Amino acid sequence: MRKAILTICGAVLLAASLAGCCMKHEWAEATCTEPKKCVKCGETEGVANGHKWKAATCTTPKTCETCGKTEGEALGHKWVDRTLEKPKTCSVCGATEGKPIAFKEVVFPIFDANNYKSILFLPETIVCTDVDRAVMDIYDYSQKQVKQINLNPAGREPRSFDYEVCLPTVTKYDGLIITTDVDEEKNCTISFYDQRGEELATVKKKIAIPDGAWLEDRAPAEKRYLRFYANTDSWLSSVKPRLVIDCETWTEIPVEDCPPVPWFSNNDFAAVSDIVYCDKYCMAWSLDWKKMYYVHPKYYSIKAEYDDLSSFNRAGFAMVSKDGVSYDIIDTDLNVVAEGIMKGTFGRVSYHGENIFCLPENKKLHFYSIE
């Protein structure tokens, strides 16, 4: 009897133990982070597989090829600046962005028959000034005349610089044309036009300038305040402008309210000029006017020296020459992006608005677009 009871108890205990585990496991395969595991009882076997990492690329972080988990950040592209042959290109993965630099000569027959002193390219029109005839001709890019403005309506004898067109050098005011006129009584008239020659505003002011002097404009302080000096004034910053115009409100402001211009010594350079589309440098001329420099915009330390150079255009390019014969294209880091782009006996290179540069050769103007 006792043996029977023990047999029954053993059977009960065995049944109880069998109830706590699977008669047959149903295994889930191991993953990157978990080992092989029974979905019924949770028993595990072996170890997790671990991640199979794929190294980070320019555009994706370090990534597991199995489960897609990421770690860290993408490396980012290592860009090489564009050239005439290639667009901006990543040196690691070869991705490209934008287009190669476009350089070409553009022909404007309207300049062959006219001797314009000032030629300015605006987004929609080309503004040409003939100071001898005291007129400003405005053309569209098909070279059809849009308007002619008489800069001397009173019919006075023109004097040098009295009818100069001040370049619309403020980036936010592209298309703004400003003309100045000073009569015999030294009354100054400053007129504002849109790029198609429609008058927007006029400021009239009697100017205290010496007899025989003319009025010169300077690049706007803080790219907003257009300053006028007598040509006899020193370039030193201690000299105050004769007149200051706010290009945003088209009104005169007190000379004292004009932001100060950077300092430089007249013993260092013959002249210094601001660059509209590049805050890294100013342009400077040697005392004998034979060399040109890019200089620091505040301290005027020399950053680069050339025989000839231009301002930087909207696209961030300038034309320079170390010998006055062969011309290169540089970017705002002073890297040469196109070497020996032109060769010949040219005059001084100049920037004429938008992306157009001009080089005179044999009394003929050659225009080049860089963008």
Percent of the chain scoring above 90 in pLDDT: 32
Percent of the chain scoring above 70 in pLDDT: 85
Task: Say yes or no to pLDDT of 53 above 80.
Answer: yes
Q: What is the DSSP letter of 110?
A: G
Comparing 79-83, 125-129, 183-187, 280-284, the range with the smallest average pLDDT is 183-187
Angle in degrees, CA 125, 131, 135, rounded to 5: 50
What are 134-163's pLDDT values in tens digits?
788 999 999 899 999 988 777 776 655 555
Cα–Cα distance for residue pair 276/282, rounded to 1 Å: 9
- Under the banding of pLDDT at 50, 70 and 90, the label for residue 308 is very high
Strands 364-370 and 103-106: antiparallel
Residue 333: the pLDDT is 94
Cα–Cα distance for residue pair 264/302, rounded to 1 Å: 12
Contact status, residue 57 vs residue 50, Cβ threshold 8 Å: no
Comparing 4-18, 168-182, 212-226, 230-244, the range with the smallest average pLDDT is 4-18
3-state secondary structure of 88: strand
Residue 240: the pLDDT is 81
Establish how many alpha carbons lie within 13 A of residue 189's alpha carbon, considering only the half-sphere containing its beta carbon: 13
- pLDDT, the chain, mean: 83
Contact status, residue 131 vs residue 117, Cβ threshold 8 Å: yes
Domains of the chain in sequence order: 264-371 (2.40.128)
